[in-house]
Amino acid sequence: MKAYRDPIRLIPVLFLGVIALGTLLLSLPIATADGTPTPILTALFTSTSAVAVTGLIVVDTATYWSPFGQGVILLLFQIGGFGIMTAATLFGLMAGRGFGLRDRMATQVERSRLDVGDARSVLKLVLVITLVVEAIVAVILTARLYVAYDHTFGEALWHGVFHSVSAFNNAGFSSYSDSVMGYQTDAVVLVPIMIAVIITALGFPVMQDLREHRLTWGRWSLHSKITVAGTGILLAIGFASVLAMEWNNPDTLGPMGLGSKLLNSAFHSVMPRTAGFNSLDVGSFEDETLMTNYLLMFIGGGSAGTAGGIKITTFAVLVAIVLSEIARRRDAGLFGRRFGHAIERQALTVVSLAGALIFSATAFLSMTTPLPFEDLLFEAISAFSTVGLSTGVTGELPPSGQLVIIALMFIGRVGTITVATALALGAAPQKFRYPEENPIVG
Amino acid sequence: MKAYRDPIRLIPVLFLGVIALGTLLLSLPIATADGTPTPILTALFTSTSAVAVTGLIVVDTATYWSPFGQGVILLLFQIGGFGIMTAATLFGLMAGRGFGLRDRMATQVERSRLDVGDARSVLKLVLVITLVVEAIVAVILTARLYVAYDHTFGEALWHGVFHSVSAFNNAGFSSYSDSVMGYQTDAVVLVPIMIAVIITALGFPVMQDLREHRLTWGRWSLHSKITVAGTGILLAIGFASVLAMEWNNPDTLGPMGLGSKLLNSAFHSVMPRTAGFNSLDVGSFEDETLMTNYLLMFIGGGSAGTAGGIKITTFAVLVAIVLSEIARRRDAGLFGRRFGHAIERQALTVVSLAGALIFSATAFLSMTTPLPFEDLLFEAISAFSTVGLSTGVTGELPPSGQLVIIALMFIGRVGTITVATALALGAAPQKFRYPEENPIVG
Ligand SMILES: [K+]
Ligand SMILES: [K+]
C-alpha cells in the first residue's frame, strides 16, 4: 500500500472487470425471459448501468430479463455500490482526506499512509451500514407488498429486496416495468425508499460523523455540515419546484389529492439526486421541471457515497467563492471556516471537466439523432451523474449513442473518483515558480 | 476622481440615459418608414440592442425604420461602442489594471488614482483608432458597392458607412434586410468587415500593446499574448467547424464553390465573437454548428473592447487552472507566467454569474414560449454576449420574452464591465480571518 498511485489506476481496471463479467453473464440465454441470447451492446449497456449504479435501461428490466438475469443485475449494482463507497473512502484516506477516522484534512494535503487497521475498519463499517439499512427497508417493503397488494410472499420478498438494495445503492433499477409508479399513492412503499436513498446519498464521511457525533452540529466536520445543509436546501428546492410546476399537469400531479401531491413531490425531490426511481412519468414533466432536474442531477449528492454528480461540496465551494467575490471579501468559506486555495481549484476542475463532458456528449447525440435537444441533455446529465431518470429516449438511441451513454456512466462513476483522488493527492513538489502576471478578466 | 466607487455606479446610469433617449427618438413617427409611431417595447428593444452593440432585432432595420430612424440607430451603436471601450479602459485604469499605460498589474491590485492625463490619452487614442479604422473600411465598402453593384453613390456611401461603423463597434446591425447575405461571394465586401471586427474585438489594451510594441511578442503583456493567441485558436475552431459541418448543407455552404465555402466559413468564424453579421442563414445551420457557436459566443472577444461574452482571458484562466490541476502542478499560468489567486477567483465568478444568468433566462423563455429549446439557448447566449446572431426567433418572442432579452443585452454589456471593475478593485481590507478547513470535493 506504499505506492499509492498504482491503486488509483486499479479502480478503473477492477470496475471494467466486473462490467465485463456482468456483460458475459447477461449475454447468456438463461438471462433472458424468452431464453434467447442478448445482443452484446444491450448486455454491455445494462451491465455498465448496473455497476455504475445508474439505472438507465435499453430493455425493460421486469419483462426482458429472466429471474437469473434480474439476479445478476441486482448483484452487479450491489457490488458496484459497495465498491464505489469503499474505493472512494479508502483512496480518500490514502489521499489524506481524514473522514473523521483520522484528523481533519489540514491546509496542505498530507500524504498519510493507510494502515491495514483503517482499511478493515472502513470495510466493516460500510458493510454493516449496508446490511442494516437494506434489511430494514427490505422487511418493510416485503411486508407491505405482501399484505396490501396481491403478491405471493415470494413475489413480495423479491420486489422488496430488489428495491431495497437498489435504493440503498442509488441504483435506480426497478423490478417493475413502470418503476414505482404503481405505488404513487402509497407512503409505506415510497417513504422507506426515500429514507434509504437520502441516507446513502450523504456519503460515507457524513455517516461516519453522524455515528461518532450524533446530531451535535458543533462537532461535525465542515464537510458534513455542508453536505447536510446542502442536502436540505436541494430537497426543499426540488420539492417546491415539482409541487408548483406539476400541480396542474394532467399527466403527473394534476389528478392527485393533496396528500399524494405532497408525497410525490417529496419523492421526486429526492430521486434526481441521484437515485433514479420514478413515481411520476418523467417524460410528461413540464419543461420547467426538467430545468430544475438538470441542476439537481448535475449537483448530485455527497462525496464518497453511491450518489453521483459533481457533489454538493464541490458546488458549495464554487458558490461560496462567487458570493465572497461579490461581497468583496478576502476569503471564501462557509460555517466560520475558510477554504484553501487548492480545494477551490479542485472544485473548479471537477465542475469544468463535468460540464465539458456533458456538453460534448449532448452535442454528439444531437448531431447523430433527431431526438429533442432538451431530452438528450437530460439523458447526458442523468448518465454522467448516474441518476438513471430518463424522458424515455434511452431505447431510441442508435448504437453510437448507446456507447456514448455507456462511456458517460462509466466516467461519471469511476472517472470522478479517480480524478478526485488524484487531485486530492496534491501537486507534485516543485521548486521553480514562474513570476506572477495577471491578465484582465471579464 | 478620488471616490472611485461612485463612477462605477455612474456607468449603468449613463447607459440607461442613452437608451432612454434612443427609445424616445425611435418612438417618433419620423423614425419609421411609413410614418406611424412605434410601440414603446419595440423602440426600447431596438435602442437597447443598439447601445449594447448587440444587433438583435424585432423589426427589420432596412424596411421598418426611416432614414432618420436608421441614423438614430447608427448613432446609438457608435455612442454605445465608444462608451463601452472608454468606460472599460478608464475604470480598468482606476482599478489599477495597467493596460500598458502604467506598469503591469502586480500581485495585489493597486488602487492607483487615475490622473487627467491618462484619461485624456485614452479617450484620444480610442477616438483616433475608431475614426481611422471606420474611415478606411467605409471607403473600401463604398467604392465596392458603387462600382460593382447597382447602388447610386448616395446609397453606396450610406450602406458603406453603416456597415463600417457597425463592424468596428461589433454592433451587428445591417442596413440590409438579409444582413450581408447578398455579398456572400464578394470578398471585397466581407474581408474588410472581418478585419475591422477582429481588430476591435481584441480590445483596447491589446491595441495599445500593438501600437507600442508592434509585433515584438516578447514585449507584450500577458493579457495581449493570451488574447491574441486565444483569438487565433477560436477563429481556427470556428472556421474548421463551419466548413466541415455546413459543407453539404443545401441551405448554407452546399451550393457554393470552394472559394466561397472558405470565405463564408472564415466570415462565420469571426461573427459569433461577437460581431453578429451573417453571410449565411443562421436559422438553417446544422445543430452541430449551433453547438460550436454556443461556445464561441459565450467566450466572446477581448476585454475592454466592444466584444462581449465572458472574454478570452477569463476562459483561458479557467482552462489553465484545469490543465495545471490535471498535470498536478502547483501553479496555473500561461506563457511562462503564473496567475494570482485573486484573478482565478475573479474568472470563476464571471463565468458562474454568466452561466447562471443564461441558464435562468433560457429556462424562463422555455417556460413561456413554445419555441425550440436550442433556439432559445442560442438567443439567450447571443443576447448576453451581445453577438446579435439569431436563428430567427427574436420576432416571435412575447413581450415578457423581449423584456428578458433586453435585460440580458443590458447586463451582458454594461453589467459585466461594472462587475469586472468592482472585482478588480479587490477585496476590502480585512484583519480577521476564519481558520481554514476544507471539505472533500468531487
Ligand atoms: K441511479
Ligand atoms: K454584436
Reading the block at residue B351, the C-alpha cell is 463565468
Are B373 and B347 in contact by the 8 Å Cβ rule? The answer is no
- Would you state the pLDDT for residue A3? 43
Q: Whole-angstrom Cα distance, residue B345 to residue B41?
A: 38
pLDDT at position A427: 59
Q: What is the pLDDT of residue A341?
A: 82
Residue % of chain A over a pLDDT of 70: 90
**Phi, psi at residue B429, to the nearest 5°?**
-60, 145
List all residues of chain B from 369 to 388 with a beta carbon under 8 Å from chain A.
Answer: 372-374
Which residues does chain B have within 8 Å of residue A221's beta carbon, measured at their own beta carbons?
Answer: 437, 439
Residue B324, min C-alpha distance to chain A (Å): 9
Ligand 2 centroid from CA B166, angstroms: 8
Asked if residue B413 has pLDDT above 60, the reply is yes
Cell numbers found for residue A188: 409505506
Whole-number Å distance between alpha carbons of B161 and B365: 35
**3-class state of residue A267 by DSSP:** helix
Q: Taking all residues of chain A, what is their mean pLDDT, rounded to a whole number? A: 85
Q: Decide if pLDDT at B101 tops 60.
A: no
Distance A208 CA to ligand 1 centre (A): 22
The C-alpha cell at B303 is: 476585454
Task: For residue B304, report the phi and psi dihedrals to the nearest 5 degrees.
Answer: 55, 45
User: In B, residues 59-88, which contact A (CB 8 Å cutoff)?
Assistant: none
Cell, residue B6 = 461612485
Q: Is the peptide bond before A416 cis (omega within 30 degrees of 0)?
A: no
CA distances from A148 to A175, A188, A196, B89 (A): 18, 10, 21, 73
Between chains, do A318 and B97 touch, taking CB under 8 Å as contact? no
* pLDDT score of B148: 87
Q: Which residues contact A374 (CB under 8 A, 6 or more apart)?
A: A287, A290, A391, B366, B373
Cell numbers linked to A437: 502576471
Given this model, what pLDDT does residue A274 score? 79
Res A30: pLDDT: 94
Higher pLDDT, B118 or B86: B86
Mean confidence (pLDDT) of chain B = 85
Please compute the mean of the pLDDT values over residues A277-286 and round it to a whole number: 87
Query: CB-CB: which of A286, A343, A363 is closest to B291?
Result: A363
Tell me how close the Cα of A240 comes to any Cα of chain B, in angstroms.
16
The set of residues, in sequence order, having a beta carbon less than 8 Å from that of A58 and lying 6+ positions away, is A42, A45, A46, A394, A395, A397, A402
The Cα angle at residue A44 between residues A41 and A45, in degrees rounded to 5: 85
Residue A270 burial (C-beta neighbours within 10 Å; 0-12, 13-18, 19+): buried
The verdict on a CB contact (< 8 Å) between B440 and A424 is yes
A439 → closest Cβ in B223, B336, B416? B223
Nine cell digits for residue A363: 452535442
pLDDT band (50, 70, 90) for residue A346: confident
Which 419-438 residues of chain B touch chain A by CB within 8 A? 419-420, 422-428, 430, 433-438
Using an 8 Å CB-CB cutoff, list chain A residues near B368. Answer: none
The answer to whether the CB atoms of B313 and A439 lie below 8 A apart is yes
**Ligand 2 centroid to B171 CA: how many Å?**
4
Cα torsion for B138, B142, B143, B149, to the nearest 10°? 150
Give the per-residue SS3 of chain B: CCCCHHHHHHHHHHHHHHHHHHHHHHHCHHHECCCCCCCHHHHHHHHHHHHCCCCCCCCCHHHHECHHHHHHHHHHHHHHHHHHHHHHHHHHHHCCCCCCCCCCCCCCCCCCCCCHHHHHHHHHHHHHHHHHHHHHHHHHHHHHHHHHCCCCHHHHHHHHHHHHHHHHCCCCCCCCCCCCHHHCCCHHHHHHHHHHHHHHHCCHHHHHHHHHHCCCHHHCCHHHHHHHHHHHHHHHHHHHHHHHHHCCCCCCCCCCCHHHHHHHHHHHHHHHHHHCCCCCCHHHCCHHHHHHHHHHHHHCCCCCCCCCCCCHHHHHHHHHHHHHHHCCCCCCEECCEECCHHHHHHHHHHHHHHHHHHHHHHHHHHHHCCCCHHHHHHHHHHHHCCCCCCCCCHHHCCHHHHHHHHHHHHHHHHHHHHHHHHHHCCCCCCCCCCCECCCCCC
Tell whether the model's pLDDT for residue B294 goes beyond 50.
Answer: yes
pLDDT bracket for residue A319 (50, 70, 90): very high
Q: Which residues of A touch B371 (CB under 8 A)?
A: none
pLDDT for the residue numbered B77: 93
- Indicate yes or no: CB of B345 within 8 angstroms of CB of A350: no
What percent of chain B stands above pLDDT 90? 40
Cis peptide before B274 (omega within 30 of 0): yes
For A327-394, the three-class secondary structure string (H helix, E strand, C coil) is CCCCCCEECCEECCHHHHHHHHHHHHHHHHHHHHHHHHHHHHCCCCHHHHHHHHHHHHCCCCCCCCCH
Judging contacts by C-beta atoms under 8 Å, the chain B residues touching residue A336 are: 434-435
Residues on chain B touching A416 (C-beta within 8 angstroms): 442
Which ligand has the nearest atom to the CA of A301? 1
Displacement of CA B87 from its chain's centroid (Å): 15
Residue range B308-328, pLDDT digits in tens: 899 999 999 999 988 888 877
Res. A7 pLDDT band, cuts 50 70 90: low
- Per-window interface: A 338-357 vs B, CB < 8 A: 338-350, 352-353
* A442/B311 CB distance under 8 A: yes
Please give the angle made by the CA atoms of A16, A20 and A23, to the nearest 5 degrees: 135
CA–CA separation, B256 and A23 (whole Å): 49
Cα A305 to ligand 1 centroid, rounded to whole Å: 12
Residue spans per domain, chain A? 5-424
Interface of A with B in 197-256 (CB under 8 A): 205, 221-223, 226-227
- Which cell numbers hold the place of A299? 449537483
A151, pLDDT greater than 90: no
**B104 vs B58, more confident:** B58
What pLDDT score was predicted for residue A226? 93
Identify whether the C-beta of residue B314 lies closer than 8 Å to the C-beta of residue B344.
no
Which of the four pLDDT bands, split at 50, 70 and 90, describes residue B96? low
Nearest to A326 by CA among B108, B91, B345: B345
| Cross-chain residue pair A105–B420, CB shorter than 8 Å | no
Mean pLDDT for the stretch of residues B93-101: 53
Select from B291, B328, B440 the Cβ nearest to the Cβ of A205. B440
What is residue B34's predicted lDDT score, i.e. its pLDDT? 92
Residue B135 in grid coordinates: 474611415
Residues of A in contact with B416 (CB under 8 A): 442
What number of other Cβ atoms are within 10 A of residue B372's Cβ? 15
Q: Would you put residue B103 in left (φ > 0), alpha (ψ -120 to 50) or beta? A: beta
Give the minimum alpha-carbon distance from A426 to chain B in angstroms, rounded to a whole number. 7
- What is the predicted pLDDT for the residue at B180? 87
Would you say B104 and B98 are in contact if contact means Cβ atoms under 8 Å apart? yes
Question: Could you report the per-residue pLDDT of A382-408, keeping only the tens digit for each?
Answer: 999 999 888 888 989 999 999 999 999
- Beta carbons of A441 and B346 less than 8 Å apart: yes
Q: Is the pLDDT of residue B375 over 70?
A: yes
CA distance B338 to B344: 10
Interface membership of A153 toward B (CB under 8 Å): no
Task: Summarize pLDDT for A92-142 with one digit per residue, the tens.
Answer: 666 655 444 433 333 233 333 445 566 777 788 888 889 999 999 999 999
Give the per-residue pLDDT at B53.
Answer: 92
d(CA B242, CA B68): 37
What does the block give as the cell for B320?
Answer: 489553465
Nearest to B440 among A107, A223, A434 (CB): A223
The pLDDT assigned to A111 comes to 35
> What pLDDT sits at residue B109?
36
What are φ and ψ of residue A103, in 5° steps?
-65, 155
Name the range with the highest mean pLDDT among A38-52, A137-151, B283-297. Answer: A38-52
Confidence at residue B435, expressed as pLDDT on a 0 to 100 scale = 75
CA distance A307 to A227: 12
Q: Please state the φ and ψ torsions of residue A67, each to the nearest 5 degrees.
A: -55, -40
- Give yes or no for residue A429 having a pLDDT over 70: no
% chain B with pLDDT above 70: 90
| pLDDT, mean of residues B154-168 | 92
B6: buried, middle or exposed (CB in 10 Å: 19+, 13-18, 0-12)?
A: exposed
Dist. CA B200–CA B315, nearest whole Å: 19
What pLDDT score does A2 carry? 41
- For residue A385, which ligand has an atom nearest its CA? 1
Distance CA B251, CA B289 (A): 13
pLDDT tens column, B199-230: 888 988 888 888 888 888 888 888 899 999 99
Contacts of A326 in chain B (CB under 8 A): 349
What pLDDT shows up at residue A431?
66
- Give the chain B residue nearest A374 (alpha carbons): B373
Residue with cell 451491465: A47
Report yes or no: A227 and A206 within 8 Å, Cβ to Cβ. Answer: yes
The reported pLDDT for the residue numbered B126 is: 85
Which comes out higher in pLDDT, residue B327 or A256?
A256
pLDDT at res. B395: 87
Residue B160, min C-alpha distance to chain A (Å): 32
Which of A350, A353, A427 is closest, CB to CB, to B441? A350
Contact B266, B246 (CB under 8 A): no
Residues of A in contact with B440 (CB under 8 A): 92, 97, 99, 105, 205, 223, 303-304, 311, 313, 420, 424
B86: number of CA atoms within 13 Å, CB side?
A: 23
The average pLDDT across A54-59 equals 93
Q: Cα(A60)–Cα(A55) distance, rounded to whole angstroms? A: 11
Question: What pLDDT is recorded for position A376?
Answer: 92
List of chain A residues whose C-beta atoms are within 8 Å of the C-beta of residue B293: none
